[in-house]
Amino acid sequence: MFAMDLKSKLRRVPEFKGVVFWDITPLLKDRVAFKDCVKKLADHFRKMDIDVVVSIEARGFIVGAPVAHELGVGFVPIRKKGKLPPRVASLDYRKEYEADTIEIREDAIEHGDRILLIDDLLATGGTAKANAHLVERLGGKVIAMGFLVELGYLHGREYLDGKYDIYSLINCKSTESHDMMDGTCSGPGISCMKASQKGRG
């Protein structure tokens, strides 16, 4: 079976929230594409001894929870301000099109837990960095980050200082649809294989 062309399942919306918006809902609706994504992400991180997957609401949950399930590890949600019962740790942050405050249960992470951060999309990297800081503040060790989509033209990977292993399934090199590539990975201590090379049968 040929590897699925995940790029064809991503919808480019020229103007939404003031940016070129990449809509993942057609990909989620496609049962083969969705399953393929979850499996590819889980396979990539399977040997990293992950204790917990952490994701931010809401689109992060859609991807992060099934990846945690596939890896056989627990899942911890990061939520917008006021959604979690006390006690919580919180952090203000900025992403591509808005600023917000995020929170996590103070007792959700054990000191030394090996954390995998999963989100739907890496844009400027503001969200990913905020998530990592929140987890690290509670004593967790962020081992790696995984995304369905990376907006390469916003250089989120560089903003994250090369500090984390980062793996994405689709990389948008510009705001144009024809500039979508298969995903990339980079970071300290990772042996990289392109998403397009994985799972080809």
Chain residues binding ligand AMP by CB under 6 A are 19-22, 59-60, 95-97, 119-128, 151, 156
Nearest-angstrom CA–CA distance, 90 and 102: 6
- Check if the beta carbon of residue 25 is closer than 8 Å to that of residue 149: no
Structure tokens at 145: 């980050």
Q: Provide the residue type at 55 as one letter.
A: S
Q: Among residues 59, 79, 105, 114, which one is catalytic? A: 59
CB of 126 to ligand AMP, least distance (A): 4
CB of 74 to ligand AMP, least distance (A): 21
Bond from prior residue into 65 cis (ω within 30 degrees of 0): no
Q: How far is CA 97 from the centre of its chain?
A: 17
Known catalytic residue: 96?
yes
Known catalytic residue: 59?
yes
Q: What is the DSSP code (8-state) at residue 11?
A: E
Residue 22 vs 45, nearer CB to ligand AMP: 22
Residue 13 vs 193, nearer CB to ligand AMP: 13
Residue 60 vs 183, nearer CB to ligand AMP: 60
Q: Annotated active-site positions, please? A: 59, 96
